[in-house]
Amino acid sequence: MRLHSRGVRQDVRELGALLGDVLEGQTSRKAFEAVESSRRSSIEYRSGERESRESLIAELEELSPHQQRIVARGFTTYFELINLAEERERVRTIRTDSHEGTLEDSLETAAEELGEADVETVREILDDVLIEPTFTAHPTEARRKTVKSKLREISTYLETLDEQLLTEKEESQVWRDIDAEITSLWQTPQVRNRQPEPEDEARNVQWYLENTLFDVVGEVYDELDDAIDAEVSGSPDIPKLFEFRSWAGSDRDGNPHVTPEVTANTLERQREVVLEKYRDQLKRLSGVLSQDGSRIDAGSAFQASLERDRERLPGSARTAEERYLGEPYRQKLKLMRERLDRVGDVRPGGYDEVDDLIEDLEVVAQSLRNNGAESVVEAHVDPIRRQVATFGLSLASLDLRDHQQKHTDAIAEALEAEGIDYHDLSEDERVEFLTDAVLQDEPVIDLGETAKLSDDSARVLELFDSLAEWQTEYGVHAIDTYCISMTEEPSHVLEVLFLADQAGVISLPEHSGIDIVPLLETEYALSGARRIMGTLFENEAYAQALEARGRTQEIMLGYSDSNKENGFLAANWSLYKNQRRLGEICDDHDVTMRLFHGRGGSISRGGGPMNEALLALPNSTVTGQVKFTEQGEAIAEKYANPRIAERNIEQMLNAQLRARKRAVDRPEEEVHEEWIEAMETMADTARQEYRDLLESDGFVQYFEQATPITVIEDLDLGSRPASRSGERTVEDLRAIPWVFSWTQSRCILPGWYAIATGIDAFLEEGGSMETLQTMYDEWPFFRTTLDNAALSLSRTELEIAERYADMADPDLRERFFPRLTDEYDRAAELIQEIGQRDRLHTRDWLGENLERRNPYVDPLNLLQVYLLDRTHRTDIEERTLRLTAKGIAAGMKNTG
């Protein structure tokens, strides 16, 4: 059976040719030839036909500013199109492997592993698992929403060409439509003319939830249901396994533009979207459930439910009965739609809780089952029920987040009016004060009294004052998590508990409306995990709040800032150790831990294949519940295409089910003491080397001169500022532009620097290569860490990076670039030896990907260097420079 009629090379070739036609038609023959000449020169150098890139550099520099802009535009558009071609190839691989039964990490393979256990153990594992992808508004998406929309259209046309049997005329019409979209794409501005606002970011996240994930989730549940039935006797029910969350419109850390109004608008818009989706689903279901009431027995439970709706909505009930005379299911569905219409309405009768809607769907399903219509339930009712369980009445629950210092300062300013000098209290005194304040009945501060406070502190109090209103209006679950950035002391968590208590969101011991989530990201915080969490678990007020939340503690680990502070190897080891330590602390206090992994898209910020990351977690930390951030361009790559989105969710679920089973079978994984000692040696030395680099005199200046950081700060990628205070220090710079800058210059040091120094230290102290090879073969953590570093090394191009280094002052260049080169060469050598292979990466597709892309990225880099090195740039040159950053990001398929 032939599933597809095309291949990636054909797609790339024909899209490239069509782009060339559009480019020439929209510009000129001369401009087209300039792009073609650059392309050929770059390919010839890469293939060995040219000895140097000097002729290519000369070509680019001799172009007029207008022609340079066209060249940058041409290569940027090319990458956007071949990204679609490669996306289509991923879909082909998924469909082909699924058809042939060779798909790795499938739900079938997960079910086979579960099938080794008895049915009760399988039920427990399924009940334990809850996966919470959390979409953030972190500014790493370089493409405009308008551009993404046009690319989605082209992707749909490619699918039509590939998967449908078309006549010659039909195929010609499809290509005409692709031509039209590419022409429109060329005429559309690539660079934003304004900084996106928080609500733009919230709408962007909402798009993926509404247009892809809403439909995909039900299909994943269906597949798992079938796989479990085939492998596990007893057919256990499949509970809720997924929940989607978002920071877009609610993450205030470093972003003054995220106001209570923005959050309220986001909550309202998301509720409107999900209710409309449910209404559409129930309308379609009404078209199916046309059963004649005189020929079936709907059952007493169904009739009682319908009668309650009639009493609740008498006017609508009469209309439903007249329209659907003798059709009980349609009457019920009509009234269910009416109840959805009244959610958040002044009229009574709307659904107050999502459980009420689920109960109605279950009543319909059971009635159908009793009438022998099980297939109708499986095909039409169960998918809706699972959508409702997953997306609730809010589409995605919002997490609030802010920096701990903002809470401290706000409380101190508010307490000053009460004659209390909070800033002057010691940590122990702060803990005691906050605990007593939460436990007493009377409020301590008035959240509405903000006139005498600073703007930042007023915003904090206004937020908590609004939180109670939001939970009343939209339900507690719509916004029930508060994350605290840079948590380093127990008081930082108790401060949020105190503010929530003053707002009435918490009323102990009976009720706590929020999970308070410490974000541990500095070495001080991570190493002090027992001090922080142990104090909280033993604190009278916090213990009551924890009890009210089911004794589940969510703890967030910050990958980005941890890496920026300590370097790749040391950060990964610290995170691994501290995950185990946190697991022990929670076990000691009989608390269920839910780790929240603050992963970015790039390797250095915790990125990489999600399924491998989940399987590499320490067994003692795998409680079944797991949460992780999805951000920037990674969201588009994973969730824009429905089939790829389904595959990603399937891989997550495969990994988490298997990881949980292994944790049940063996709560503590076997990690040899020799391996731990090896990692301690390597990580300590690697951290020292990394810190020495960052703290070397002149390194900040080198970074500024040898990367396009100044351009990136002005790209309008997101609503949040690029740095925390506007100062030029590595510590102050946010992790995203830090990684983005190195990625643009093709020297991706955040993903590999100091690994070689660390490994060499172990070998020099008497460690053996055989030990490292055994660790790689038998320890998932070590293997995943090195494989991820290998991906960053593979994407690094030191010849191009050298061009950027040449822009730095000569003494800075000579001091730092050879140091980076030596570390790179040794890391590549060592990783290949440890992995016992003759190339860096283990993925065939990556080699093909790099071979296809590198010759086209190179001209953009060389043009960017030329423009960066100019002391005075015209407006058109500034726009071209910013466009090169977009193009390189598209070519690298990564920003930060």
In DSSP notation, 593-651 reads: EEEEEE--SSGGGT-S-HHHHHHTS-GGG--SEEEEEE-THHHHHHHSSHHHHHHHHHH
Q: Which residues pair with 135 in a beta bridge?
A: 246, 630
Q: How far apart are CA 113 and CA 130, in angstroms?
A: 18
pLDDT value of position 619: 87
Q: How far apart are CA 439 and CA 436, in angstroms?
A: 5
pLDDT tens digits along 123-177: 999 999 999 999 987 544 445 667 778 888 999 999 999 999 999 999 999 999 9
pLDDT value of position 514: 96
pLDDT value of position 841: 76
| Cis, peptide link before residue 509, omega less than 30° from 0 | yes
Q: Please give the positions annotated as active site.
A: 138, 564
Q: How far apart are CA 270 and CA 344, in angstroms?
A: 13
Within 10 angstroms of residue 97's Cβ, the number of other Cβ atoms is: 14
Q: Which positions ≥6 away from 874 have C-beta within 8 Å?
A: 65
pLDDT tens digits along 839-855: 887 776 677 777 888 88
Distance of CA 338 to the CA centre of its chain: 35
Q: How far apart are CA 228 and CA 221, in angstroms?
A: 10
pLDDT value of position 606: 43
pLDDT value of position 565: 83
pLDDT value of position 634: 77
Longest dimension (CA), the chain: 91
Q: How far apart are CA 836 and CA 87, in angstroms?
A: 31
Q: What angle do CA 665, 668, 673 make, to 5 degrees?
A: 140
pLDDT value of position 724: 47
pLDDT tens digits along 585-604: 999 999 999 999 886 554 54
Q: Which residues of the chain have pLDDT under 50?
A: 139-142, 602, 604-607, 718-725, 895-896
pLDDT value of position 558: 79
Q: How far apart are CA 523 and CA 42, in angstroms?
A: 44
pLDDT value of position 142: 46
Q: How far apart are CA 261 and CA 466, in angstroms?
A: 9
Q: How far apart are CA 552 and CA 590, in angstroms?
A: 9
Residue of 290, 110, 192, 275 lying closest to 886 (CA atoms): 192
Distances (CA, A) of 147 to 143, 150, 188, 888: 7, 5, 7, 16
pLDDT value of position 293: 87
pLDDT value of position 722: 46
3-class SS string, 352-407: CCHHHHHHHHHHHHHHHHHCCCHHHHHHHHHHHHHHHHHHCCCCCEEEEEEEHHHH
Structure tokens at 558: 């910050």
pLDDT value of position 398: 97
Helix, strand, or coil (residue 555) = strand
